[in-house]
Structure 1
Amino acid sequence: MGKTISATEAARHFSDLLNRVGFRGERYTIARGGKAIAHLTPVTSPVTRRLGELPDLLKKLPSLGKDAVPFAREVFRGIRKAPGLPKKAPWA
């Protein structure tokens, strides 16, 4: 069952552990005094896809029909008009 961590380590990093379990599907055994006392596991398995599945997924998307070309033009126009990134990050 995944990685074993101490109860102290689990308490110190609980938020990170929840993210790892919830988003990555990782599993942990929590131990106290070297003895397993609990398991931390995702409620459901994370959904994973393979790159080879992308064409079929795209085919299942709804078609824009006659609106496809005007929509694409509008998207590209917005991209061209969007401001660029600052040369120096303001937070640096």
Structure 2
Amino acid sequence: MSHSLLEYRFGELLGRGTYGTVYKGFKKGSKPEETVAIKCVQKNSLSKESIDGIVNEISITKRVKNQFIVELKDFKWIESHIYLIFEFCCGGDLAQY
């Protein structure tokens, strides 16, 4: 599946979760190029409850600023997908720990 956001360049697949896939991404135009994690959710695969859960995730993570919680930097809600752009953490998958 091909993803496209004007502000970001997609890199390697980092993982798959309940709602979608997460890719390593790079913010275009930033110097140096900022590395982010982009969670991609296909809207047509979601129930109303799942969409409500994502809206809740966005609402909470937009407000929380803590060194121990991954920061939500941005989100894009387009016709086919929801994209959540998080700070990139290079320590690997938390589930491994």
- TM-score class, shorter-chain normalisation, is under 0.3
Larger strand proportion of the pair: 2
TM-score normalised according to structure 1 size: 0.25
Larger helix proportion of the pair: 1
Higher-Rg member (1/2): 1
